[in-house]
């Protein structure tokens, strides 16, 4: 594994995360603002300025921009492919109050106290130092401003019926994140991280995504597309941690799970709200 000019991890010249692949980006374009960001909506008012850091292709950002319009909304992401797609979608949709720029959450190109609201969804799990990232969000928030952060914690997913394929998928995915110092199962510490970063923490809650019925096939196929497009899985083969035949068995196992009439899937995360005093 190497790093590109921006310090992003890459494997064989491709982004470690694989977010440059359109299949993986598609996982994020269908985000529902009520599900993913409902906890912050009651705190938003028309005219507020808002930063969505690690915005991906911007599905959540657009929803937030609608709520605070005509307030200024900025989506920042370290991955240029994400920003290109978000910028294109913004132009197509005609949303006026949103802009997107490439930026690293550790070193944001914004002034101290620039935003009323700082938001970040499913980003800090990629980082070896989430507290440093949250300190940077604290810096760009206004005094009295609010932070809404969501972080995965996949230690206890409900996978019914049990599926060796799914369990192996999560084991390989977590192992890859660990290799860059990130973690998919530290969401439970989010409140502590935010307090350490300087926020007064006012709420910490579980936030869960579910799949049952027809959404099980969508869920399984989404994760299979990650297997095919996220380089950390190929790296796991190169490192001898897994093999192509085991990955084939993982794909088959996930499809078999999705076809089961009782298939149920529930993946937890943690969300927290904090204030900059």
CB of 264 to ligand SAM, least distance (A): 23
DSSP character for 104? Answer: B
Burial 204-228 (b: 16+ CB within 10 A, else e): beebebebeeeebbebbebbbbbbe
State yes or no: residue 226 binds ligand SAM (CB under 6 A).
no
- Residues 6 or more apart whose Cβ sits within 8 Å of residue 128: 180, 181, 182
State yes or no: residue 68 binds ligand SAM (CB under 6 A).
no
Closest residue by beta carbon to ligand SAM? 56
State yes or no: residue 197 binds ligand SAM (CB under 6 A).
no
- What's the rounded Cα separation, in Å, for the pair 255 and 260? 9
Nearer to ligand SAM, 33 or 249 (CB): 33
Q: And the tokens for 55?
A: 């915005």
- Residues 6 or more apart whose Cβ sits within 8 Å of residue 86: 55, 56, 57, 58, 61, 75, 77, 100
Nearer to ligand SAM, 178 or 243 (CB): 178
Binding test (CB under 6 A) with ligand SAM, winner from 37, 40, 55, 140: 55
State yes or no: residue 28 binds ligand SAM (CB under 6 A).
yes
State yes or no: residue 105 binds ligand SAM (CB under 6 A).
yes
Binding test (CB under 6 A) with ligand SAM, winner from 9, 18, 56, 165: 56
Binding test (CB under 6 A) with ligand SAM, winner from 63, 85, 89, 122: 122
- Residues 6 or more apart whose Cβ sits within 8 Å of residue 268: 152, 153, 154, 156, 157, 187, 206, 207, 208
Nearer to ligand SAM, 19 or 110 (CB): 19
Q: Which residue spans within the chain are E strands per DSSP? A: 2-3, 9-11, 14-15, 50-53, 73-77, 98-102, 115-121, 141-152, 158-160, 200-212, 264-275
State yes or no: residue 121 binds ligand SAM (CB under 6 A).
yes
- What's the rounded Cα separation, in Å, for the pair 216 and 213? 6
Nearer to ligand SAM, 123 or 273 (CB): 123
Nearer to ligand SAM, 79 or 116 (CB): 79
CB of 244 to ligand SAM, least distance (A): 26
State yes or no: residue 78 binds ligand SAM (CB under 6 A).
yes
Nearer to ligand SAM, 132 or 168 (CB): 132
Sites of contact with ligand SAM (CB under 6 A): 17, 19, 28, 31, 53-56, 59-60, 77-79, 82, 104-106, 121-123, 126
């Amino acid at each position: 594994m190497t790093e590109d000019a921006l310090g992003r991890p890459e494997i064989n010249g491709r982004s470690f995360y694989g977010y440059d692949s359109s299949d993986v980006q598609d996982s994020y374009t269908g985000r529902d603002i009520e599900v993913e960001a409902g906890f912050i909506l009651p705190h938003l008012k028309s005219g507020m300025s808002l930063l969505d850091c690690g915005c991906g292709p911007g599905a959540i950002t657009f929803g937030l921009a609608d709520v605070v319009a005509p307030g200024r909304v900025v989506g920042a992401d370290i991955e240029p492919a994400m920003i290109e797609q978000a910028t294109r979608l913004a132009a197509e949709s005609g949303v006026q109050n949103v802009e997107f720029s490439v930026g690293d959450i550790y070193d944001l190109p914004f002034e101290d106290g620039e935003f009323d609201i700082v938001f970040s969804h499913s980003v800090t799990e990629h980082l070896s130092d989430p507290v440093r990232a949250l300190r940077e969000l604290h810096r760009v928030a206004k005094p009295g401003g609010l932070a809404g952060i969501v972080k995965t914690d996949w230690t206890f997913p409900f996978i019914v019926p049990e599926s060796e394929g799914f369990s192996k998928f999560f084991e390989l995915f977590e192992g890859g994140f660990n290799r860059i110092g990130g973690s998919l199962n530290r969401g439970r510490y989010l409140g502590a991280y935010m307090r350490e970063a300087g926020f007064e923490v006012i709420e910490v809650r579980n936030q869960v995504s579910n799949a049952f019925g027809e959404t099980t096939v969508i869920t399984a196929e989404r994760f299979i597309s990650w297997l095919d497009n996220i380089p950390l899985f190929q790296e796991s083969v190169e490192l001898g941690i897994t093999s192509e035949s085991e990955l084939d068995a993982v794909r088959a196992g996930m499809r078999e799970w999705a076809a089961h009439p009782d298939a149920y899937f529930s993946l937890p995360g943690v969300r927290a709200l904090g204030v900059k005093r």
